[in-house]
Amino acid sequence: MNKIKEPIKINQVLLKNRLVMPPMATSKTSDGYVNQEILDYYSEKSAGGYIGLIITEHSYVNHQGIANMGQVSISRDTDVAGLAKVVEVIHKNGSKVIAQINHAGSAARRKVTGMETLSASAILNTGMTGRNSELPTAMSSEQIQLVIQDFTAASRRAKEAGYDGVEIHSAHGYLLNQFYSPLTNKREDEYGISSMENRLRLHKEIIQSVRAEVGEDYLVALRLGGCDYMEGGSTIEDSVKAARLLESYGIDLLDISGGLNGYVIPKRKESGYFSDMTGQIKREVSIPVILTGGITDIDHADRLIENGRADLIGIGRAILKDSLWAMKAMKE
């Protein structure tokens, strides 16, 4: 076991190893603010610094984009103080940390937000995160511009809080993924389905705006739900095209997962079940690629890197169940 323990530098951030704790929602806050329970959780998970990179749970960029009750906010300047405490805890334990920022789009629910739901098109989200029956409103140009501003402000807050970087969430059927997927995007304008460039136009505009805000030396990652694994949805071939474009737009790190199917693939339980996608993407881009999905064995994680399926490996459920998992695995 050598590859998983090798350091890697991404933009200006040096990770001590290739082990990643992916974003996992804790639902531990009642008002969006970081509380002691959240701090204790990240302190426990990062203890010893055995995890090279921790990506904190998806945080909403505006109130209309809240995905679920208990979600952490990065939508207000008053959030920065609490987020800075999360960073302090993780850095003190010896790991690097980036913030995942998100807008739920049609996966948001009016009973949570008190607001109408928005999406690329007025189409119900039939994926894993599509938990309401309210038809979303197709976003106007003005609403799109506001969302770009919200992602940009969220990235500024992440930098102010001391995060080593920021991850833009475009997976699991949330808003940006809704623009990318043919199942939820039926637009005929410049954000429409006619080309991959159009499907990713909102991504490009957010990335460019975020980059202008945080600077070239700040790590900007993107979680891509590259394939929907559903009839008529995005394909692995789409994911490769998208990855090439996202690299050209200035992304430093690609975190690959599922699209409207969520973070699992129906009827597939094998370790590293997204590796068919990440392997093809890795051959086509020069930036690092994270693979997450059903991996619980550190030796298999090492082999996936050795075999060119990814540069970093995310271990979610194993670390969630056992906070000592990373220590035991990396000491083997």
Quote the mean pLDDT of the chain: 97
Residues 99-127 have a mean pLDDT of: 95
Query: What local confidence, expressed as pLDDT, does residue 108 receive?
Result: 96
Domain-wise residue ranges, the chain = 3-330
For 253-297, write each residue's pLDDT tens digit. 999 999 999 999 988 889 999 999 999 999 999 999 999 999 999
For 21-37, write each residue's pLDDT tens digit. 999 999 999 999 999 99
Question: Does the pLDDT of residue 304 top 70, yes or no?
Answer: yes
* Rounded Cα gap, residues 240 and 169, in angstroms: 17
**Which residue from 79, 81, 77, 74 is spatially nearest to 23, judged by alpha carbons?**
74
**Count of positions (residues) in the chain:** 332
What angle (nearest 5°) sits at the alpha carbon of residue 196, between those of residues 173 and 189? 85
**294 near 273, Cβ under 8 Å?**
yes
- Quote the crossing angle between the two packed helices 236-249 and 275-284, to the nearest 10°: 40
Cβ neighbors of 75 (< 8 A, separation 6 or more) are 32, 59, 60, 61, 62, 63, 65, 150, 153, 154
For the full predicted model, state whether its pTM sits above 0.95: yes
Q: For the domain with range 3-330, which CATH number is right: 3.20.20.70, 3.40.50.300, 1.10.3720.10, 2.60.120.620?
A: 3.20.20.70
- How confident is residue 1, by pLDDT bands cut at 50, 70 and 90? low
Catalytically active residues are: 174
Residues 118-128 have a mean pLDDT of: 91
Alpha helix (H) residue ranges in the chain? 36-46, 80-93, 110-113, 141-160, 175-180, 196-199, 201-214, 236-249, 275-284, 298-306, 317-321, 325-330
- How confident is residue 204, by pLDDT bands cut at 50, 70 and 90? very high
